[in-house]
Structure 1
Amino acid sequence: MLAKKTVYIVDDDSDDRMLLREALENVIQDIEVQEFVDGQLLLDALANNLPEQPALILMDMNMPRLTGLEALKRIKSDPLCRHIPVIIVSTSSNAELIRHCYDQGVNAYIVKPVVFQGYIEIAQSVSICFLDSYPEFEGQVVGKNFSNKTILVIEDNQDHWQMMRAALKTGMPDIKVIHRSSQDSTIDFLENEYAALNPPVEMILLDLYLPDRDQGLSLLAEIRNFIASRNLPPVPVIILSHSDHPRDISESYAGLASAYLVKTGKAFQSFSSIRDVCSLWWGTVTLPKTS
């Protein structure tokens, strides 16, 4: 029996907490949801529950006592908590605010849906990207036109790269997929090709063991520094790995990985889930608009 994973919902609106809780519990098995009505209560719980910590925090922006942005800053500046993935779920679509959240290390920013199906899609994204759980989807997840998007795949295993490419192209035939197989070739790509790409890179899939974890974590840091130092639009960097070791997961999140996907032993399920992640991420997560 799988151990339950704990998710914190932080929101002063009881209806929004209820909708998000119901969606999570409908989609994800073996989940425990705890609710808080403001950021200060969240921080108190994190401090009091060490070393036990949630697998994920879903947090509103505008709350009394301590806002979501203020709580986010404290979490990501605390070495004991910065590895906990945080998703802001807010009614605000203000571009400056969204950019500020990404600058402060938020894993994803989601504008609150207006219908319950939108909360279901959030739960589906959360399930795969953050909780290593693969729910059965009703119908095909992929179905939108992604001809204006580019994905960078950094993977040193040629067989895995070919399966990933095939999975991504299934359901998203017009997407542009760029492959690099090493730290050096990725850095060369960043410095010489990245900024001029059209359409721009809107997701990076990075194998953690490239071939070892130190190289993967080092490259993650270099990618984050490259984007920040040039003031480029934030791009999700999703870590891929066969490892489900807590240390690998926590250090990836501490290094500002957007999400962490475990490659399963079932290749079809594993690489098909990557395609679903891309579709769900782009369908639910809001990034600052490119200029």
Structure 2
Amino acid sequence: MADDVLRILLVEDNPGDVMSLQRSFRRIAPDAEITVARDAEAAVHELAEAPHGTFGLLLLDINLPRMSGIELLRRLKSESWLSNTPMLLLTTSEAPFDVKTGYASGADGYLVKPFDPQGYDRLVRFLINTWNGDILDDADDYRGIVVAPPAG
């Protein structure tokens, strides 16, 4: 495993979303490694079992069984060894309350799940481009996927 490989912990309970993301990553960033946790408890277990620093990015669904992605985010951000790991919320909700709560809870980004394969490809391209520090040529390409923090 190369040190520059993007290792992602995807916390997602919807098999269709998992499959769509994995498919897009295979097409666009085949070297990226994705570990899937189906709920918050599985995510906590996965993080506890892996050596610190294993995952360079956490993608958290908001609507998870038993513990929400927001609660999981708060818990993970309170861990000093994880506090600098980028954690992005990935959800179908664009509700202002959810966006505000997500950012207030420590989310490093808020992404809206697309509804088609091209949308998942756009999402993965955004993640890879920003991970690599590339300048986004056309931010309009990601409109509808990336939700900015509320002003004020």
Distance 1:281-1:86 versus aligned 2 partners, 3 A rule? farther
RMSD: 2.1
Aligned residue in 2 for 1:117: 118
Are the counterparts in 2 of residues 128 and 277 from structure 1 also a CA contact under 8 Å?
A: no
Are the counterparts in 1 of residues 37 and 46 from structure 2 also a CA contact under 8 Å?
A: no
Query: 2:137 aligned to 255, 258, 276, which one?
Result: 276
Distance 1:275-1:93 versus aligned 2 partners, 3 A rule? closer
Equivalent position amino acid for 1:11 in 2: E
Equivalent position amino acid for 1:275 in 2: L
CA distance in 1, matches of 2:138, 2:54: 25
Aligned residue in 1 for 2:12: 11
CA distance in 2, matches of 1:73, 1:281: 26
Deviation at 1:121, TM superposition (A): 0.7
CA distance in 1, matches of 2:143, 2:102: 17
Q: What TM-score results when the alignment is normalised by the length of structure 1? A: 0.48
Are residues 1:285 and 2:142 paired? Answer: no
Aligned residue in 2 for 1:81: 82
Equivalent position amino acid for 1:67 in 2: S
SS at match of 2:7: strand
Are the counterparts in 2 of residues 125 and 277 from structure 1 also a CA contact under 8 Å?
A: no
Aligned residue in 2 for 1:234: none
Deviation at 1:18, TM superposition (A): 0.5
Instruction: Output one character per residue of 1:230-260: Cα deviation in whole Å (capped at 9) or x when no partner.
Output: xxxxxxxxxxxxxxxxxxxxxxxxxxxxxxx
Map of 1:183-194 to 2, 5 A cutoff? none
Are the counterparts in 1 of residues 10 and 60 from structure 2 also a CA contact under 8 Å?
A: yes
Equivalent position amino acid for 1:74 in 2: R
Higher relative contact order (CA 8 A, sep 6+): 2
Aligned residue in 1 for 2:107: 106
How many percent identity over aligned positions?
Answer: 26
SS at match of 1:62: coil
CA distance in 2, matches of 1:49, 1:11: 18
Larger radius of gyration: 1
Deviation at 1:84, TM superposition (A): 1.1
Are the counterparts in 1 of residues 113 and 145 from structure 2 also a CA contact under 8 Å?
A: no
Are residues 1:26 and 2:27 paired? Answer: yes
Map of 1:107-256 to 2, 5 A cutoff? 107-130=108-131, 132=132
Question: How many residue pairs end up in the alignment?
Answer: 151
Are the counterparts in 2 of residues 95 and 288 from structure 1 also a CA contact under 8 Å?
A: no
Deviation at 1:286, TM superposition (A): 1.0
